[in-house]
Chains A and B, each alone.
Chain A
Amino acid sequence: MPAAEAASPEPILLSVEGVTKHFSGVTALSDVSLDIRPGEILGLLGENGAGKSTLLKILSGVMPPSSGRITFDGTDYQPASPQDAKRLGIVTIYQELSLIPTLTVAENIFIGRAPTGPLGLVSWRRMEEDSLAIIARVGLTIDPMTPVSALSVAEQQLVEIARALSLKSRLIIMDEPTSALTETEVQRLLSIMDRLRKDKVAIMFVTHRLEEAAAICDRMTVLRDGRLAGHLDRDNGPIELPAIIEKMVGRAASELYARPVQRAVAGDIRLSVRGLRTVRDPEAPHAIVLDGVDIDLKAGEILGVAGLVGSGRTELARAIFGADRIAAGTITLDGKPIAPASPADAIALGIGLVPEDRKHQAIFAALGILPNFSIASLGHFSNGFGFMAERRERDALAGFRKMLSIRMASAEQAIEGLSGGNQQKVILARWLARDPKVLIVDEPTRGVDVGAKTEVHQILVQLAARGIAVMMISSELPEVLAVSDRIVTMRRGRITGQMQGVEANEEKLMELMALDRQDAKGQAR
Chain B
Amino acid sequence: MSVAGEQNQRGGINFARLLMSFGPLLFLAALIVVFTVLKPSFMDPINLFNITRQISITGLIALGMTFVILTAGIDLSVGSLLAFCGMVAAVVAKGGTANTLSLSTSGTQGYGWFAALLAAVVVGAAAGGVQGLAITRLKVPPFVVTLGGLTVFRGLTLTISNGGPISGFDASMRWFGTGLIGPVPVPAIIFAMAAILCHIVLRYTRYGRAVYAVGGNAEAARLSGLRVDRILVSVYVIVGFFAGLAAFVLSARLNSSEAVAGIGYELTVISAVVIGGTSLFGGIGSVGGTVVGAALIGVLQNGLQFNNVSSYTQSIVIGLILILAVAFDRWLKSRVRR
Contact = CB atoms under 8 A, between A and B. Distances in A.
B9 A419 contact: no
Task: Specify which of A344, A348, A381, A409 lies most central, judged by the most chain B CB atoms within 10 Å of its CB.
Answer: A409
Contacts of A417: 6, 9-10, 13
A364 B205 contact: no
Contact of B223 (A353, A390, A409): A353
A364 B222 contact: no
Contact of A376 (B6, B7, B219, B225): B225
B1 A413 contact: no
Interface string B267-302: 000000000000000011000000000000000000
Given A344-B226, A413-B10, A414-B13, A371 B212 contact: yes
Contact of A413 (B13, B207, B220): B13
Nearest to A408: B6
Contacts of A343: 222-225
Task: Specify which of B6, B220, B224 lies most central, judged by the most chain A CB atoms within 10 Å of its CB.
Answer: B224
B212 A388 contact: no
A388 to B, nearest CB: 6
Interface string A326-357: 00000000000000001110111000010100
Interface in B1-59: 1, 3, 6-7, 9-10, 13-14
Contacts of B145: none
A321 B224 CA distance: 11
Nearest to A346: B225
B283 A364 contact: yes
Interface string B195-212: 000000000111101101
A392 B6 CA distance: 25
A378 B206 contact: yes
A518 interface: no
B224 A375 contact: yes
A409 B209 contact: no
A361 B225 contact: no
Interface in A15-73: none
Contacts of B284: 366
Interface in A148-201: none
B330 interface: no
Contacts of A379: 206
A148 B164 CA distance: 52
A410 B9 CA distance: 11
B217 interface: yes
A376 B206 contact: no
B220 to A, nearest CB: 5
Nearest to A409: B10
Given A371-B212, A378-B210, A348 B225 contact: yes
A344 B227 contact: yes
Contacts of B3: 407, 409
A367 B216 contact: yes
Task: Specify which of A363, A366, A375, A388 lies most central, judged by the most chain B CB atoms within 10 Å of its CB.
Answer: A375
A278 interface: no
Interface in A391-440: 407-410, 412-414, 417, 419, 430
Contacts of B225: 343-344, 346-348, 376
Nearest to A410: B10
A304 B204 CA distance: 40
A382 B223 CA distance: 20
Size category, B interface: 20 to 34
A361 B223 CA distance: 7
Contacts of B212: 364, 367, 371
Given A360-B217, A375-B226, A366 B206 contact: no
B213 interface: yes
B158 interface: no
A347 B207 CA distance: 18
A409 B6 CA distance: 6
B221 interface: yes
Contact of B209 (A344, A388, A407, A408): A388
Given A343-B224, A407-B3, A365 B216 contact: yes
A390 to B, nearest CB: 8
B283 A366 contact: yes
A173 B117 CA distance: 68
Contact of B217 (A321, A363, A414): A363
A348 B209 CA distance: 19
Given A364-B283, A417-B13, A371 B219 contact: no
Nearest to B230: A344
A387 B220 contact: no
Given A343-B223, A364-B283, A367-B212, A387 B204 contact: yes
B1 A364 contact: no
B283 A367 contact: yes
Contacts of B217: 360-361, 363-365
Contact of A360 (B10, B207, B209, B219): B219
A141 to B, nearest CB: 34
Contacts of B13: 413-414, 417
A9 interface: no
Contacts of B6: 407-409, 413, 417
Contacts of A367: 212-213, 216, 283
Contacts of B220: 360-364
A386 interface: yes
A364 B219 CA distance: 10
A323 interface: yes
A342 B229 CA distance: 12
A489 interface: no
Contacts of A353: 223
20 contacts: A344-B226, A346-B225, A347-B224, A360-B217, A360-B219, A362-B223, A363-B217, A363-B220, A364-B217, A364-B221, A371-B212, A376-B225, A379-B206, A388-B209, A408-B6, A409-B9, A409-B10, A413-B6, A417-B6, A417-B9
Interface of B: 1, 3, 6-7, 9-10, 13-14, 204-207, 209-210, 212-213, 216-217, 219-227, 283-284
Q: 10 closest Cβ contacts across the A-B interface?
A: A409-B10, A364-B216, A347-B225, A378-B206, A382-B206, A344-B225, A376-B224, A409-B6, A375-B224, A386-B205
